[in-house]
Structure formats: structure tokens, C-alpha cells
Chains A and B, each alone.
Chain A
Amino acid sequence: MNLLETDSAALLAAVRRVLIAKGVLTDAEIADRIAKTEQASPALGARMVAKGWLEPDYRALLLEDGTKAAETLGIMIRGAPPLGVLENTPLVHNLVVCTLCSCYPRAVLGYPPFWFKSAAYRARAVRDPRGVLAEWGTLLPDNVRVRVVDSTADYRWMVLPQRPAGTEGWDEAQLAAIVREGDMIGVTVPDGARLREKTLYPER
């Protein structure tokens, strides 16, 4: 049988049994890892972004050492790949993709959205990033450079978006509420007006 055509659930079950039988992993370790991954959600990354918008020192830490910045907020990164944070500026817009597989900063954003793993996104983000952004409704001014960050090896990358106008005087929770998963991947940018639509995203 061709491995690539095997039913993925059956393949997963078989690999899991083999790893446990060989003593590479235990059931408890697998359960623990699944539980940790399921605890993470984009709300964690959004909190980091909001704090970065409010506190210059925290922003500096985010850009220098994303792992440390996450751990400062009690988000455990240990055992996961190091986290890098990419800063959007008035002149640079970052877009994260993993063309080789689906590397994703799960510790701070949770499970990747389905489209992040799709062949279409992986192929197009790196070749036609502006076309992809336009389809998301993200239209950049002409003087903004696009920087596609292809996550190929040991780091996981998240975007620190620009704080939108109209959010002056907001506190951390209010700011975090407008930061979405896509804003931290770079397909979209946060919008202050989105707070009015918060009922659409009750989990944030």
C-alpha cells in the first residue's frame, strides 16, 4: 500500500501504537501534549500584541525574544520551538507561511486554521502575496513592502501588527479583543471598528 494514500486516521493510530510499543512515547505524554495544545488559542497571542502596544519595554522584549515575552505572561513555551515576533511598520507588512509543511506558533496561537495548511495558501503566499492579501481584503498602501516569512526550520513566527487608529485610551483587554488570528499571521490587519462586531467573535 502507498503510504501517501493510506487513511490518515488509521496511519496515525498505527504510528502511535508503534511509538508506544517501542517506548519512544507514553500514552500519558501524548495526552499531555494534546491538552497543552488545546489550551492555546489566538487569545494568548492577542494578549501579547495588546501588551506590546501599551508597553514599550514589552514591545522591545517581544521583538528581541518572543519566547521570553510569552513566558513573562505565563504562556509556557518550553518544549516548543522558539518564537520569533515580526513587527509590522508603516513601511513593512509581514506575511507568515510554511511552504514545506504547516509550522505554526501553536504555543501562542493554538491550532493553525485549515487554510494555513492548504497547498493553495502555501504555494500562493510566497509567490503572489499581494494577490492573497487582496483576497483577504487587505489592501496595502503602495509604499509598503511585503515581507513573506517562510517558516522552514526551527523557529515559529507571529506578526506584531500595527495598533489601529481610533484605539487611543483603550486598555489591554479592549485592545486584545480586536486582534484576530489572521492579524498575527499577517493575512489581515486589526481594525478598531471591529470592536463593534465583537459579538461575531464572542470567544475573544
Chain B
Amino acid sequence: MTGFAAGTAVRVRDDWPETRGPVHIRTPHYLRGMRGEVVRPLGAFPNPEDLAFARTAPVIPLYHVRFDQPSIWGEGRSGDEVVVEIFEHWLEPV
């Protein structure tokens, strides 16, 4: 695990595992491929993608990540933001 510090620019992986079979994903569709900034680390938790299928779940760091709200939807008020919990394996440094 690399570990992202607060303020790190990140991108959510543009991956769609749901197209490859049954999954349980906690990364919302609307953020796939989006750029954001780490607000702060939130600790580490067993990966829900494994827990949901009763598999052994590795403990993975979780981050609060901030995204520019109008950039996501192409509408909205400049300066508004969306803050979301994202697991580390869904994030890549920009």
C-alpha cells in the first residue's frame, strides 16, 4: 500500500468490474475516471468487495476524497463539492 496524504491529487480508476460478473462495489459510477483530492485518510477496513461474497477480505486504507461537483455533472454552482469515501485500490495518483 502506498498511502495517500491529505491534499494528494488522485484519479478514480475508470474501471467497470460490474461488466465482468457479479460484484459489490462501493465506488459510485459517477466518480469513475474523475479527478479529486484526498481530504484525509479515514483508517483501514476489510474490503467490502470481498466481504459481500464471504471471501477473506484484506484490510484496505479508506480515504475521504473531494471532487468538484459541477465538473462531475456539467452543471451546478462553481465551488460546490462532493466528498466521498473511496478505498485505496480505486485510486491512482495523478
Contacts and interface: CB of A to CB of B under 8 A. Distances in A.
B78 to A, nearest CB: 9
B84 A150 contact: yes
Given A152-B27, A154-B62, A146 B85 contact: no
A100 B28 contact: yes
A154 B76 contact: no
Given A82-B43, A126-B30, A153 B85 contact: yes
Contact of B81 (A84, A148, A153): A148
Nearest to B81: A147
Q: How large is the interface on B (under 10, 10 to 19, 20 to 34, 35 or more residues)?
A: 20 to 34
Given A100-B28, A154-B45, A148 B80 contact: yes
Contact of A155 (B42, B48, B75, B80): B42
Interface string A107-134: 0000000000000000000111110000
A147 B80 contact: yes
The secondary structure that dominates the A interface is mixed
A202 to B, nearest CB: 35
A146 B83 CA distance: 10
Most A CB contacts (10 A, CB to CB) among B43, B76, B86 go to B76
Residue picked from A82, A130, A146, most chain B C-beta under 10 Å: A146
Contact of A152 (B75, B77, B85): B85
A102 interface: no
Interface string B68-94: 010001011101111111110000000
Nearest to A91: B79
Contacts of B62: 153-155
A152 B62 CA distance: 11
A100 to B, nearest CB: 6
Interface of A: 82, 84, 99-100, 126-130, 145-155
Given A84-B42, A146-B77, A152-B26, 20 more contacts: A100-B26, A100-B28, A126-B82, A127-B76, A129-B76, A129-B80, A130-B76, A146-B81, A147-B81, A147-B82, A149-B83, A150-B85, A151-B85, A152-B28, A152-B84, A153-B45, A153-B86, A153-B87, A154-B62, A154-B85
22 contacts: A82-B43, A126-B82, A127-B75, A128-B75, A130-B77, A145-B79, A145-B80, A146-B81, A147-B82, A148-B69, A149-B84, A150-B28, A150-B84, A151-B85, A152-B85, A152-B86, A153-B62, A154-B43, A154-B45, A154-B62, A155-B62, A155-B85
Closest 6 CB pairs of A and B: A153-B85, A154-B45, A146-B80, A150-B84, A148-B82, A153-B26
